[in-house]
């Protein structure tokens, strides 16, 4: 095992600065999957489970979503919420049982609500409740991507070390080119955040500046998402 005295952030920045780093690249059509940008994880003023990495994260997500809709490409939002009993959290909900515990994000609670800063089109966009880390697990996401004939999945939200990583691994495993815009994901601690950005960049996804993602979207012809 290689050892180092560098921080997780320093290691990530070394990887990011490598001009020969190979990429999976963009395909021809993408879906935007926004993973759990809900108040339990975004409202640092209300909940100790929340976190913020880039203060412009919600703005960037909205900008991406607007461009996707203009192209006729799918926009997906996921959030977690559980029954009063918490039984649908399964074994994942058994380690703790406090007001801040995962299984106590109940349906119709403030913690389950999407961040108010987000522009969600409740008619145009797909909104899924998920129970486990990956946005693919027991949701209609895979079917939606097949219907739209996408080959690229762009992932935002949180946490980088949890649901973003799980969704990215599942995305790659299903054969999608997977993109993580760096400014659009967040985690509780910079060590977890940057360590997992490193792992994603080396193994499972292209971790890119959000501006590069927007530039690619801006080069796509209008109406390219019509007719699936």
Catalytic residues: 163
If you search the block for the tokens 């292209």, which residue do you land on? 206
DSSP 203: I
Please give the Cα distance from 187 to 81 (Å, whole number): 19
Burial of 206 (0-12, 13-18, 19+ CB in 10 A): buried
Question: 78, 55 in Cβ contact below 8 A?
Answer: no
182 Rama sector, left if φ>0, alpha if ψ -120 to 50, beta otherwise: alpha
Question: 166, 178 in Cβ contact below 8 A?
Answer: no
User: Could you give the dihedral angle defined by the CA atoms of residues 84, 115, 54 and 186, in that order, rounded to the nearest 10 degrees?
Assistant: 20
């Amino acid at each position: 095992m290689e050892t180092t005295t560098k921080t997780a952030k320093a290691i990530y920045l070394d990887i990011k600065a490598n001009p020969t780093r190979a990429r999976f690249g963009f395909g021809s059509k993408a879906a935007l999957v926004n993973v759990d940008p809900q108040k339990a994880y975004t409202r640092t003023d209300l909940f100790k489970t929340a976190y913020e990495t880039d203060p412009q994260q919600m703005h960037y997500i909205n900008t991406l979503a607007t461009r996707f809709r203009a192209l006729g490409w799918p926009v997906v939002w996921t959030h977690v919420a559980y029954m009063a009993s918490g039984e649908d959290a399964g074994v994942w909900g058994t380690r703790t049982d406090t007001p801040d515990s995962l299984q106590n994000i109940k349906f119709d609670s403030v913690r389950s609500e999407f961040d108010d800063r987000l522009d969600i089109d409740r008619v145009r966009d797909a909104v899924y409740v998920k129970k486990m880390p990956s946005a693919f697990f027991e949701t209609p996401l895979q079917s939606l991507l097949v219907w739209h004939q996408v080959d690229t999945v762009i992932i935002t939200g949180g946490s980088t070390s949890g649901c973003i990583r799980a969704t990215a691994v599942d995305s790659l495993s299903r054969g999608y080119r997977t993109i993580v815009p760096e400014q659009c994901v967040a985690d509780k601690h910079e060590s977890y955040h940057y360590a997992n950005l490193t792992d994603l960049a080396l193994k499972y996804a292209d971790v890119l500046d959000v501006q590069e993602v927007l530039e690619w979207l801006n080069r796509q012809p209008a109406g390219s998402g019509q007719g699936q």
